[in-house]
Each structure stands twice: as structure tokens, then as C-alpha cells.
Amino acid sequence: MNRIVEKFAHLKAAGKKALVVYIGAGDPHLAATRDLALAFDRAGVDVLELGVPFSDPLADGLVNQLAAQRGLESGTTPPKLLATVTEIRKESQIPIVFYIYFNLIHKVGMAQFIADAAKAGVDGLLVLDLPPEESDNYEALMRAAGLCNIYLVAPTTPEDRMASIVKRGAGFIYYISREGVTGMQSQIATNLASQVAKLRAHTNLPIAVGFGISNPAQAKAVASEADGCVVGSAIVNQIAEHGKSSDLAARLGAFAKAMADAVKSI
């Protein structure tokens, strides 16, 4: 069974919610990405999203744009990142999702990229700029490889389109809780409960909520409404601040554990 599907099924059976953590791959370098993945696994993170560095990350705010830039500067490429996933798989079975822009897949060739990702131990792809309406071949290739094609739903998505998107997704639905790009926020969206309820009317897939979750209290509040929460910019910001520290993995592991403990306390 796919690790993402297995993880959410296990959490549901236990009555628990998921913590999904996002980091920019190769920030500050790929050895750190490996160490952080292992630290997050030990800290209780349920799913790890790795942002594949790209020169024009349109969905991202400044914090994650700078992480992508640092990843490019460290020499991170998709093949090198896949090799890092292979290294992570020697020690951890944490579910891994690539948060990626389609140009990076297209350059390699869709079938080849998906096959390479599956072989390395990737569990799902979240392609930011591939609309579901244009992804028939992509979805078929992903299913054949045993990978989850994860889709985004925004607050501005009309309900009829929302219904069609979630029917095509796999693994979980990533609900963007705010309009705009990624980034830390001082409070969670006020209409979160009603939006999650609207999604649940159209799918049995788990719903993970992201964009703007910055601290354990917010993570707990979001997870109380959804099946999980995604924490990205708040962690990426810590990497930006402490990337050169020898205790980076331990420091970020402790930060993630506080989030995981809050989510699991529901």
C-alpha cells in the first residue's frame, strides 16, 4: 500500500490527526534535507513535503521563494533529490511528497519522472501548476506507479469545480486556507470549518489544511476541523535562520515535535 494512504488510514483508526511538514529540498544542502527528514520522522511528523527547487515558484511567498533559491544555489536538481530520497529510505519510511512545478517533470518526460520517483521511494506528487482538467495521462501514470496525485483546492474554488477536483485526487486533498501565496499568518481563516465541511460533502479523502500555520496553537485549531495540517513557511523560516548551525536537525526536530504534539493532543 502507498505510504500516504497507509499513514492516513492508521491515523483515522487511532482517532488521530496528521502533521504534514514542508521544507525546501536542498536548503541549505541535500545532506541537511536527509538529516531533517529523519529528525522529523522521529518527532512525529506524518508526511514530509519536499519542495523541488524551481526558478519561478509562482505559488510561494518570499520565505519559500528564498528557500528555492538556496536550494538551486546548493546545486539541488531533481536527480540529486531522488538520490537523497533513496538515502532517506534506508532509514525511514516517512511518507514523502514532492511539491513541484510541472516544467521540471516535463523536461524529463512525465512517464520517466514518475517511474524514477516511484523507484526512489517518493509516495506522491503535488504539481502546483498542472490543472486537473489537463492531467488525464498524468493521473493514469501515477496510478500505475502506485503514487498519489495530490490536488490543491483554494477558498475561491467554485463548489462544482471543487467536486470535480477532489474526485480525481489521491492520498489527501490539500486545502489552501487563504487566498494568495504561502507564508506565515497571525491567525487561521475564520471560514475554515464551513469550507472543510463543503469539501467533505464531495470526498472521503483526508483533508489537510495549509498556508499560514505558524505555531502549535494554530496547528491544533486547524487539525480540530480537518484531518491534518500542513506547516511550511514557519519551519522554512527556521532553516533560513539556523541553516548553518551544527544542531539544525535537532533544533528543527524539536520545533516540529511541538507542532506534532499539539496536533496529536486533539
As annotated, the active-site residues are 49, 60
- Helix axis angle for 233-242 and 62-73, nearest 10°, is 50
Pick from 262, 254, 264, 255: which is nearest to 232 by CA?
A: 255
Cell for 263?
A: 496536533
- Backbone φ and ψ for 216, nearest 5 degrees, come out as -60, -35
Residue that is written with C-alpha cell 483508526 in the block? 13
Residue that is written with C-alpha cell 467554485 in the block? 158
From start to end of 92-249, where are the E strands?
A: 96-100, 124-127, 148-149, 151-153, 173-176, 207-210, 228-231
Q: Who's near 15: CB < 8 A, 6+ residues apart?
A: none
CA separation for the pair 111, 105 (Å, rounded): 9
Strand pairing report for 18-24 and 151-153: unpaired
**Hey, is 140 helix, strand or coil?**
helix
Pick from 179, 155, 266, 172: which is nearest to 216 by CA?
A: 266
End-to-end CA distance of the chain: 27
